Amino acid sequence: MTGLLDGTFARGGASAAVSGDAWFRSLLAVEAALARAAARAGLVPTTAADAVTAACADPGRLDLATVVARAADAGNPVPPLVRVLRDAVGPDAARAVHVAATSQDVVDTALMLMSRAAIAVIDADLAAAAQSAAGLARTHRDDVLMGRTLMQQALPTTFGLKAAGWTAGLDGARTRLAEVVASLPVQYGGAVGTLAGAGPLVRDALAEELGLETTALPWHTVRLPIADLAGALGAAAGVVATVAVDVVLLAQTEVGEVGEVSELRGGSSAMPHKNNPVAAISARACARRAPGMVATLFAAMEQEHERAAGAWHSEWPTLADLLVTVGSAASWLAESLACLRVDPARMAATAEAAAQVIPAAAGLDVGEAGAQADAALAEHAQLVEGGA
Amino acid sequence: MTGLLDGTFARGGASAAVSGDAWFRSLLAVEAALARAAARAGLVPTTAADAVTAACADPGRLDLATVVARAADAGNPVPPLVRVLRDAVGPDAARAVHVAATSQDVVDTALMLMSRAAIAVIDADLAAAAQSAAGLARTHRDDVLMGRTLMQQALPTTFGLKAAGWTAGLDGARTRLAEVVASLPVQYGGAVGTLAGAGPLVRDALAEELGLETTALPWHTVRLPIADLAGALGAAAGVVATVAVDVVLLAQTEVGEVGEVSELRGGSSAMPHKNNPVAAISARACARRAPGMVATLFAAMEQEHERAAGAWHSEWPTLADLLVTVGSAASWLAESLACLRVDPARMAATAEAAAQVIPAAAGLDVGEAGAQADAALAEHAQLVEGGA
Amino acid sequence: MTGLLDGTFARGGASAAVSGDAWFRSLLAVEAALARAAARAGLVPTTAADAVTAACADPGRLDLATVVARAADAGNPVPPLVRVLRDAVGPDAARAVHVAATSQDVVDTALMLMSRAAIAVIDADLAAAAQSAAGLARTHRDDVLMGRTLMQQALPTTFGLKAAGWTAGLDGARTRLAEVVASLPVQYGGAVGTLAGAGPLVRDALAEELGLETTALPWHTVRLPIADLAGALGAAAGVVATVAVDVVLLAQTEVGEVGEVSELRGGSSAMPHKNNPVAAISARACARRAPGMVATLFAAMEQEHERAAGAWHSEWPTLADLLVTVGSAASWLAESLACLRVDPARMAATAEAAAQVIPAAAGLDVGEAGAQADAALAEHAQLVEGGA
Amino acid sequence: MTGLLDGTFARGGASAAVSGDAWFRSLLAVEAALARAAARAGLVPTTAADAVTAACADPGRLDLATVVARAADAGNPVPPLVRVLRDAVGPDAARAVHVAATSQDVVDTALMLMSRAAIAVIDADLAAAAQSAAGLARTHRDDVLMGRTLMQQALPTTFGLKAAGWTAGLDGARTRLAEVVASLPVQYGGAVGTLAGAGPLVRDALAEELGLETTALPWHTVRLPIADLAGALGAAAGVVATVAVDVVLLAQTEVGEVGEVSELRGGSSAMPHKNNPVAAISARACARRAPGMVATLFAAMEQEHERAAGAWHSEWPTLADLLVTVGSAASWLAESLACLRVDPARMAATAEAAAQVIPAAAGLDVGEAGAQADAALAEHAQLVEGGA
């Protein structure tokens, strides 16, 4: 990923939630919470835990350059981070750092925190897109649109029903993400998962400190939480893509039933008549990167013994990239739908022309399109209220 | 897939649940249920619906060869099936066939039925594997095992904790599959999703007849149910793979802590000393096919307008193959764990030798391994009871 | 894959080239060639080799049911096949069966034979599609078509240039497949690749018998030949997909510049006006299954020690399915282009209307479209001649 | 990708070859070469072309911040870059900027340049790894190693043969990359590929200026060059992974036949006895990210009309990430093999112990292991000389 392409592929806030800074903040948040959890369990003095918390809260004072320099050789960033942190808090508080933990405990838990933060941003963009879609569904509840199957005009429907379908899809994606976020677990088990030197109390306190769920066992090599994230993010990408492709197809010159109207975008200098739906196109581009990343994460579930030799590591940038690309897709779609101009007159004209040649379309009967759209909008309203 | 490889890659019962016969039975089950639903809604006479139900229950009397011959040219199997079915029931009952439905309504709903049936079989194999794993965890609750991280001996744990982790993973995969199965929705909307010529009552009755959920809107191009299946099946494959790789690694000649003991399998004629863990190897082989299929299904979520021109179709064999390969993986893993011989003496000897050179391992302290295994086994017992 | 869907997803001849029968024929062809190669190297009597060849040529007399029954437990089909074959030829000739070979030698070499046979069929369909595309390019060399970028009308081009681009793409896919086929290597190294009990002479004679290349070393776990197949097949699928999506888009009701004209296909009973481009849609559906399979094959390249425990096995059905789906895609595309009706009048009308509103299109200047199409057609002619 | 993880996942020089700076440099190199090519064809004055070349050579004087700010809204970076460049060269030379080109011409050609540069770096790391492997093969030509199939000890081979296999694989990956690099084509066709306003002369001169190949037609939507890159990079990743997994497995505590000896890496603070093969593990982690990216690129081959609405864009970051992850994998593997300590005594002891229990291994016959290794090393020497 490069700065030049970030406006397209690192759009929205998810990228900041998994940045290098975010990694540091998250790893330190875990170490700080672990110190407090160990203090709550009586394993270390509260004053030492406070010192660790204070040091973690002020990363600017830590020698993070050393951590960056040594992370790769250590195999992961935690060993040098722990050393730097112990140096920072001094010998007395040092024993409150990384109590009975293994690197994977800290990395995995930090990934859960970053995923939660990134999904909060993604969800906000999906919610904005859903709100726009719902608004379109209400505004155009009864506007006739020629339904198209296999890319051929088929029978009439309404733009309201189409936009309600978008709304339902985006809401469904949000619901799945919310379920996954609510179940994100802490990771804590020590070197080989036995909780040696600590115990379930520390784990549970750590979970409580961070607002994460707990599990009966560490999930060092049983990667269901990663699979859950991959599945829900892949589903969100898919919903964004299907809405975006509808926008792109309806915006075709020959169809012209919708268009993105934005002062910033869409014009072609060589062809001033062109109004490219840049936001929908970009949403599609970002969403299409997701399935390959999802496959990488599922393939990485095969993890050896008590800690995998490569598969585990491959998750870190892949999950981060997946969050970024799904976030970018959601952000672009929110922009697209916010500036979507719908042309009911063109829709009606197309439908009426079709009705001349398609006997079954003669009456422009749209069946229960309105009632179904209403039902979906009612569910949407419930979700919005429930989330408020 | 070929007959010669079916013993490996079409193992267990999932394959039968998505066979050509299963397709016919499922499509006919949907048409029969739709006739009854239409009768319940007063759209067609009950006698006509009964005639359709009777014809669908006896596929041997239908001209299915014609359906096979014409399915590809029609773009999907439903148009020729409807023609054959209408011919079979005669002109009076013909109007009760395929009432206000579109091909996709029938294909998608049939896929839900086949997925449910296949997952029932997959779940039984996962449950058997989990039961074996739980048995191993109980039997070897306190047997010391050298934990290995990054493929290096690290610190001691127990085989009980390892097997409890397998159990928890398999149970987690089952829970996810159960959630997806419980939410599988009917598809019913007619040509462009408006319910023209029918209404929500028919849809809801159809769902009820088939024991499926209903949705506010058709999901013709918003493919969250397919994504849910892909995610849960991919997760199940990943859990199977991580257990299988543990078996394969622990069975290495140099490790020798477990072995598959089966009269049928594992020997090499050229090397009689070899005891290949064929079941675990095959489980791994089957599981590794899943991520690519999962990616295909997520990529297929981008569907155009009211019915996609290709992406939709690509789901059919891919979802079927995914069910078969995950089912095969689960079946093999159940066989592997059922015949797993564990060698606690070898484990202990290895751990004791390691303790000589690893200071931190000196006391062979396994921390809370036992308590954690107990906690996981208690959750397992709850799941087993809840499922009974 | 089921019978009901085979007309769509197992179209063309590739499926027969990787069927269960084809597996048997190919495995037996390798064993027969190996017996002859061993005889040529003086390791076994020629009469014994002849007996093996004769037995392999008549699979109907072999107890293949036993092979099917035992293949999975053996981990692969070769051990039971060798036993059956030795039984069939009797004790004297038995020593000429499977000389100094390992199962992987036979399976891998058989896969090369099946890939070669399947690609011959795929290539024929790609060639037919390319011929149709070239014909369209010649016929419509100067027919103006409105070029479309980002799904918006842009500037004029010609249908001839578009069809020449299809031709070049299909020819490029064929060239890549031909290069891969020409380099397909024999596999022969014995249990751990040392050629113990045989030697390079046997390997080279085996390669010669089968018309395969030889390599300095066995490639038991260095899977470049599989990667080459995966890459070239994936590329072929991609070219088919991009031609197919053009057909589908140009056939849209609102565009109407091309249509598939087939007595067999395309009509909708409910909507007689609809003319679905079923062949192009099906080509797209088949092609979209390829990338996930390609990923599975690349992921399977990580193979352990002297023979992989699962990754190797996962290649068999995946490569077979990839050949089938690419073959089906190519077959459908050949059918689509063979029945493609192009409407130059509609193209011209659209272009002229566009020229009214797009200043840069005013002169309908198509630049060097004709000359470029000619250049591509000349290259096509060379390829056709070279292949003849 | 974040700074904290760059040491692992952006290792080696490939990352710099596709950085934001590299994008600018490459886009500007294309614009400069195009100006010169247009001058050579007589379309613009040489002085104007010189002015453009000069401006492109000094990006520090260009207002690149504006390009970054506007790239996303423009749909790609070229429109704002052209505007900034025209402003920089002034009105007279402005007409020599972007002559008859479309954005895709510049982006695609720049991607070819970046791919070539990145692959040069990747190739150097692969060559270093191959050289180390060849050295190991020579040193340990006759050192007996117990061959392992399906993770079980099988029959004896030599470490020389194993390392020669690694060499051949790495050389094979290099050969494939070299073939692809040698065929990388320029992209030049103008808005819809007709070469309107220019002609084949400009295209051919542009190719010559940049040292790229030319094609009969633009490949705006026929993406074989991207597929070629994806295939060869995926193959390279696979070879790296299979060597890396051998290292990881041979370095297991229980096997102990190789180890990475590096002052920088591998130790565990908690477990000082542990010597993690960090470089091989990291190589594996990087390589495992490739197949999903390869799938994304193959899936993106389905591109619409004269320029795709999303699929094209999705290639940019994906190809860049693929180059980075394959480059990182190659870099790590080079480090791993450079510091690999082989323990022939341990190998011998293991083999001798095995020979006690495996009848077929009794004589420790390694067949033609030495001769085969020699053959592979001879091919390696030829490749090294040929490339020098």
Q: Which of 3.20.20.140, 3.30.1950.10, 1.20.200.10, 3.40.50.1370 is the CATH number of A6-15+101-195+216-385? A: 1.20.200.10
Nearest CA in chain B to C323: B1
Mean pLDDT of chain A: 96
Quickly count: other Cβ atoms within 10 Å of residue A153's Cβ: 24
C264 in contact with A at a CB cutoff of 8 Å?
no
C232 in contact with D at a CB cutoff of 8 Å?
yes
**C260 has a pLDDT exceeding 70:** yes
Phi, psi at residue D252, to the nearest 5°? Answer: -50, 145
A278 in contact with D at a CB cutoff of 8 Å?
yes
The per-residue pLDDT for B267 is 60
State pLDDT tens for residues D263-305: 777 665 556 667 999 999 999 999 999 999 999 999 999 999 9
Nearest CA in chain B to D310: B302
Does the interface predicted TM-score (ipTM) exceed 0.85? yes
**Residue from C167, C172, C173 nearest C290 by CA:** C173
Work out the percent of chain A whose per-residue pLDDT is above 90.
95
Quickly count: other Cβ atoms within 10 Å of residue C364's Cβ: 15
Flag whether the pTM goes above 0.95: yes
**C1 has a pLDDT exceeding 50:** no
* CA C129 – CA C119 distance, rounded (Å): 15
Q: Using CB atoms, which residue from C5, C75, C281 is nearest to B276?
A: C75
- Residue C147, classed as helix, strand or coil, is strand
Return residues 309-368 of D near C (CB < 8 Å): 309, 365-368
C292 in contact with A at a CB cutoff of 8 Å?
yes
CB A56 within 8 A of CB A33: no
C273 in contact with A at a CB cutoff of 8 Å?
yes
The band of C262, judged by pLDDT with boundaries at 50, 70 and 90, is: confident
* Contacts of residue C248, Cβ cutoff 8 Å, sequence gap at least 6: A151, B309, B310, C277, C280, C281, C284
**D177 has a pLDDT exceeding 50:** yes
Calculate Rg over the CA atoms of chain D: 25
Contact B4 C71 (CB under 8 A): yes
Average pLDDT over residues C229-256: 98
Collect the ranges in chain B with pLDDT lower than 70: 1-2, 266-273, 387-388
Q: Which two tokens stand for residue C189?
A: 């190294």
* Contacts of residue B133, Cβ cutoff 8 Å, sequence gap at least 6: B163, B164, B166, B167, B170, B243, B337
The per-residue pLDDT for D266 is 61
The per-residue pLDDT for D121 is 98
Average pLDDT over residues A7-23: 97
User: Which of D157, D252, D269, D297 is the best substitution to test chain B (most B C-beta atoms within 10 A)?
Assistant: D252
- Residue B342, classed as helix, strand or coil, is strand
Average pLDDT over residues D97-126: 98
Looking at the complex, report in whole angstroms how far the Cα of residue B268 sits from the nearest Cα belonging to chain D: 9
* CA C289 – CA B103 distance, rounded (Å): 22
* CA A369 – CA A371 distance, rounded (Å): 6
Burial degree of A87 (CB within 10 A; 0-12, 13-18, 19+): middle
* Half-sphere exposure for A280 (CA within 13 Å, toward CB): 31
Looking at the complex, report in whole angstroms how far the Cα of residue C168 sits from the nearest Cα belonging to chain D: 8
Q: How far is CA C345 from CA B351, C258, C341, C342, in A?
A: 82, 11, 12, 9
Q: Strands, E, within chain C: which ranges?
A: 144-149, 152-158, 258-260, 340-342
Looking at the complex, report in whole angstroms how far the Cα of residue A32 sits from the nearest Cα belonging to chain B: 23
Phi, psi at residue B70, to the nearest 5°? Answer: -105, -5
Relative to beta strand D258-260, strand D340-342 is antiparallel
CA angle, corner D39, sides to D35 and D40, nearest 5?
120
* Contacts of residue A117, Cβ cutoff 8 Å, sequence gap at least 6: A17, A22
Contact D2 A18 (CB under 8 A): yes
Contact A310 D248 (CB under 8 A): yes
**Residue from A86, A92, A95, A94 nearest A62 by CA:** A86
Q: Using CB atoms, which residue from C252, C270, C292 is nearest to A152?
A: C252
Residue for token pair 């006006």: C273
Quickly count: other Cβ atoms within 10 Å of residue C272's Cβ: 12
Looking at the complex, report in whole angstroms how far the Cα of residue D263 sits from the nearest Cα belonging to chain C: 27
CA angle, corner B311, sides to B310 and B316, nearest 5?
95
* Contacts of residue C175, Cβ cutoff 8 Å, sequence gap at least 6: C383
Nearest CA in chain B to C244: B310
Contact B224 A172 (CB under 8 A): yes
Phi, psi at residue C92, to the nearest 5°? Answer: -70, -45
**Residue D268 annotated to the active site:** yes
State pLDDT tens for residues C174-211: 999 999 999 999 999 999 999 999 999 999 999 999 99
Looking at the complex, report in whole angstroms how far the Cα of residue A57 sits from the nearest Cα belonging to chain B: 31
CB D128 within 8 A of CB D279: no
Burial degree of A255 (CB within 10 A; 0-12, 13-18, 19+): buried
Nearest CA in chain C to B303: C285
The band of C269, judged by pLDDT with boundaries at 50, 70 and 90, is: low
D159 in contact with A at a CB cutoff of 8 Å?
no
Burial degree of B169 (CB within 10 A; 0-12, 13-18, 19+): buried
CB A31 within 8 A of CB A39: no
Looking at the complex, report in whole angstroms how far the Cα of residue D236 sits from the nearest Cα belonging to chain C: 9
**Residue B307 annotated to the active site:** yes
State pLDDT tens for residues A156-183: 999 999 999 999 999 999 999 999 999 9
Q: Which residues of A touch D286 (CB under 8 A)?
A: 314
Nearest CA in chain B to A224: B235
Average pLDDT over residues D328-350: 98
Q: Which residues of B touch A239 (CB under 8 A)?
A: 222, 224, 301
CB D310 within 8 A of CB A9: no
* Contacts of residue D161, Cβ cutoff 8 Å, sequence gap at least 6: C193, C194, C217, D137, D366, D369, D370, D372, D373
The per-residue pLDDT for B263 is 79
* Contacts of residue C163, Cβ cutoff 8 Å, sequence gap at least 6: C133, C134, C136, C137, C140, C373
Q: Which residues of C touch A155 (CB under 8 A)?
A: 270-271
Calculate Rg over the CA atoms of chain B: 25
Nearest CA in chain D to B151: D252
The per-residue pLDDT for B271 is 61
Contact B375 A149 (CB under 8 A): no
The per-residue pLDDT for D222 is 98
The per-residue pLDDT for D205 is 98
The per-residue pLDDT for D265 is 77
Phi, psi at residue C192, to the nearest 5°? Answer: -125, 20
Contact C360 A270 (CB under 8 A): yes
CB D306 within 8 A of CB D220: yes
Work out the percent of chain C whose per-residue pLDDT is above 90.
95
Return residues 7-66 of A near B (CB < 8 Å): none
**Residue from A212, A105, A193 nearest B371 by CA:** A193
CA angle, corner A92, sides to A90 and A97, nearest 5?
75
Q: Which residues of A touch C361 (CB under 8 A)?
A: 271
Quickly count: other Cβ atoms within 10 Å of residue B163's Cβ: 30
Phi, psi at residue C147, to the nearest 5°? Answer: -70, 145
* CA C152 – CA D192 distance, rounded (Å): 11
Neighbour subunits, C (≥3 Cβ pairs < 8 A): A, B, D
Q: Strands, E, within chain B: which ranges?
A: 144-149, 152-158, 258-260, 340-342
**A324 has a pLDDT exceeding 50:** yes
Length of chain B, please? Answer: 388
B145 in contact with D at a CB cutoff of 8 Å?
no
Contact C227 D238 (CB under 8 A): yes
Neighbour subunits, A (≥3 Cβ pairs < 8 A): B, C, D
Average pLDDT over residues C143-149: 98
CA angle, corner D293, sides to D291 and D297, nearest 5?
115
Q: Specify which residues A342 forms β-bridges with.
A: A258
- Residue C369, classed as helix, strand or coil, is helix
The region of weakest confidence among A369-383, B256-270, C94-108, C284-298 is B256-270
Nearest CA in chain A to C269: A360
The more confident residue out of A388 and A13 is A13
Positions of C marked active-site: 268, 307
* CA D152 – CA D61 distance, rounded (Å): 63
**A271 has a pLDDT exceeding 70:** no
Looking at the complex, report in whole angstroms how far the Cα of residue D95 sits from the nearest Cα belonging to chain B: 41
The per-residue pLDDT for C273 is 67
Span between the terminal Cα atoms of chain D, in Å:
35
